[in-house]
Amino acid sequence: MPDTAAAPAAIPLKVLIVEDDPNVRLGCQQALELEDIATEAVDSAEQARRLVSEGFPGVVVTDIRLPGMDGMALLSRLLAVDPDLPVVLMTGHGDVSMAVQAMKLGAHDFIEKPFSPDYLVEVVRRALEKRRLTLEVRDLRARLQNRQSIEARLIGRSEPMERVRRLIADLGNSAADVLIHGETGTGKELAARCLHDASPRRSGNFVAINCGGLPETLFDSEIFGHEAGAFTGAGKRRIGKVEHANGGTLFLDEIESMPMAVQTKFLRVLQERTLERLGSNTPIAIDCRVIAATKVDLRDWADRGQFRPDLYYRLNVATLPLPPLRDRREDIPLLFEQFTLQAAARHGRPVPPPDAERLRRLMAYDWPGNVRELHNVADRCVLGIEQGFPPFGTAAAATSRPLAEAVDAFERALIADTLRRTGNSLARAAEELQIAKTTLHDKIRKHGLS
């Protein structure tokens, strides 16, 4: 069985039944609970009002004919509290026209009595899925607004991303220098900023240097600074990047691109924690944390003489590996949802509706550009220009690995996403995937999703 404790982000939902007839109330509860749907039942609208607040984790099924406040009045009160709350009305034959009017006012659906248990379950499941999506979008937006939250910035519920967040939390309060390793587009600078924000140095500067983007002739001046007159054109003193990071964090991206001559000078700065500006003999004390990032095997480069071994070992106090997107495919739906929300807001366009074929292609693609590439694909989908671009412009979605491995990865990601959306309900996930519960249980164990 799926372990609900292992997925705290899943939102457990329930159905609030409002019915004064005890036999009908009990029958509704039994029909739903036999399908693994949690319920709570009350016999009046007044009781229901006390239980429902904004963000209520579930849906409401209410009779129209109730003592005191009736179902129509309850509908109005509940939608005033939460306009997105799905409310299903149970009606007698003479109340159908009233129910149709209620749907115009915002009711989700209505069920005419007498109804079969299967029909009740079908209507409730549709309402619950709508509610789940609404609450997940709200939760995502709330986390995105909390920019200080690691979970809001390093998004993903896969085990590799859980490890990354745990490691950042463990390293955040330390003073240790960190070497981040990851492919292009995996979010190395974002991880470095999270480390900075989780540290006691968060009030200091976060200074980023792209070692591959600076001409070698400017390295000394940019990194160490210079005094006025230090060289032709140096009209005034310049504070270098390392000195500017004093009290904060210095981030060296693409450290493998740092020229060998500069590596020698930088190693001394790291060892002595002092520097001298060009044109000066006065040492300046430096107190900054150094985070370096690389997309190559820096140890292999050091062994082959392409990087100073002593600098490698000085930087490699702690290592933070970032997984490629193809190794955490179960995060793709959530990341794509976040990126499309952001793109829709940025471009003033509607969010694309769910598309099973699009999701299949997204999960099957190997993502050589990783999260950055997925971000671009989300932008193109919002703009309506995704056709012709990978993963939609190529049939070879996963050519870099054996077919069996690609199929396994896709199956694991699809099952993980279905479990997330169904609140880790084995019965509901099996129904959505159209396989037997025993088969799904075996696949969960096979892919280590328990």
User: What pLDDT, in 10s, does the model give residues 219-253?
Assistant: 888 888 888 888 877 788 889 999 999 999 999 99
Cα–Cα dist 40/415, whole Å: 29
Same domain, 93 and 8: yes
Query: Final residue of a domain: which of 322, 346, 362?
Result: 322
Condensed to tens digits (0 to 9), the pLDDT of residues 75-90 reads 999 999 999 999 999 9
Q: What is the mean pLDDT of residues 290-300?
A: 95
Same domain, 13 and 119: yes
Residue 151 falls inside a structural domain: no
Residue 6: the pLDDT is 31
- H/E element, 300: helix 298-303
Condensed to tens digits (0 to 9), the pLDDT of residues 214-228 reads 877 778 888 888 888
Condensed to tens digits (0 to 9), the pLDDT of residues 321-336 reads 999 999 998 899 889 9
Residue 293: pLDDT above 90? yes
Which candidate, 393, 410, 413, 414, places its Cα nearest to that of 401?
A: 410
Residue 442: the pLDDT is 85
- As a whole number of Å, the CA-based R_g of the chain is 29
Q: What is the mean pLDDT of the chain?
A: 86
Residue 144: the pLDDT is 57
Same domain, 294 and 198: yes
Condensed to tens digits (0 to 9), the pLDDT of residues 257-290 reads 998 888 998 899 989 999 989 888 899 999 999 9
Give whole-number Cα distances, 305 to 195, 299, 302, 308, in Å.
Answer: 30, 10, 5, 7
3-state secondary structure 141-179: HHHHHCCCCHHHHCCCCCHHHHHHHHHHHHHHCCCCCEE
Using pLDDT thresholds of 50, 70 and 90, give the confidence band for residue 396: very low
Same domain, 181 and 133: no
Can you give the pTM of this predicted structure? 0.58
Same domain, 130 and 105: yes
Using pLDDT thresholds of 50, 70 and 90, give the confidence band for residue 10: low
Same domain, 113 and 203: no
Same domain, 330 and 315: no
- The residues, any chain, with a CB within 8 Å of residue 150's CB and separated by 6 or more, are 165, 168, 169, 194, 198
Residue 409 falls inside a structural domain: yes
Residue 153 falls inside a structural domain: no
Q: What is the mean pLDDT of residues 333-340?
A: 91
- Provide the CA 117 distance to its chain's centre, in angstroms: 37
CATH number, domain with residue 36: 3.40.50.2300
Same domain, 85 and 63: yes
Q: What is the mean pLDDT of residues 193-216?
A: 88
Residue 349 falls inside a structural domain: yes
Same domain, 229 and 333: no
Residue 247: the pLDDT is 92
Residue 172: the pLDDT is 84
Beta strands (DSSP E) in 96-203 are 109-112, 178-181
Residue 406: the pLDDT is 64
The percentage of the chain sitting over the pLDDT mark of 70, rounded to a whole number, equals 92
Residue 366 falls inside a structural domain: yes
- The DSSP bridge pattern shows strands 238-239 and 225-226 to be antiparallel
Least confident of 66-70, 99-103, 117-121, 131-135: 99-103
Residue 429: the pLDDT is 86
Residue 437 falls inside a structural domain: yes
Q: Which domain holds residue 337?
A: 326-446
Contact 89, 114 (CB under 8 A): no
Number of domains in the chain: 3
Q: What are phi and psi of 170, to 5 degrees?
A: -70, -40
Condensed to tens digits (0 to 9), the pLDDT of residues 361-381 reads 888 888 999 999 999 999 999
Query: Final residue of a domain: which of 107, 122, 145?
Result: 145
Same domain, 138 and 30: yes
Query: Final residue of a domain: which of 298, 322, 346?
Result: 322
Q: What are phi and psi of 152, to 5 degrees?
A: -80, -20
Q: What are phi and psi of 96, to 5 degrees?
A: -60, -45
CATH number, domain with residue 300: 3.40.50.300
Q: What is the mean pLDDT of residues 21-37?
A: 93
Q: What is the mean pLDDT of residues 98-118?
A: 87
Residue 287 falls inside a structural domain: yes
Residue 152 falls inside a structural domain: no
Using pLDDT thresholds of 50, 70 and 90, give the confidence band for residue 419: confident
SS3 56: coil
CATH number, domain with residue 363: 1.10.8.60
Residue 146: the pLDDT is 44
Which candidate, 201, 96, 82, 62, places its Cα nearest to that of 131?
A: 82
Same domain, 304 and 235: yes
Same domain, 314 and 348: no
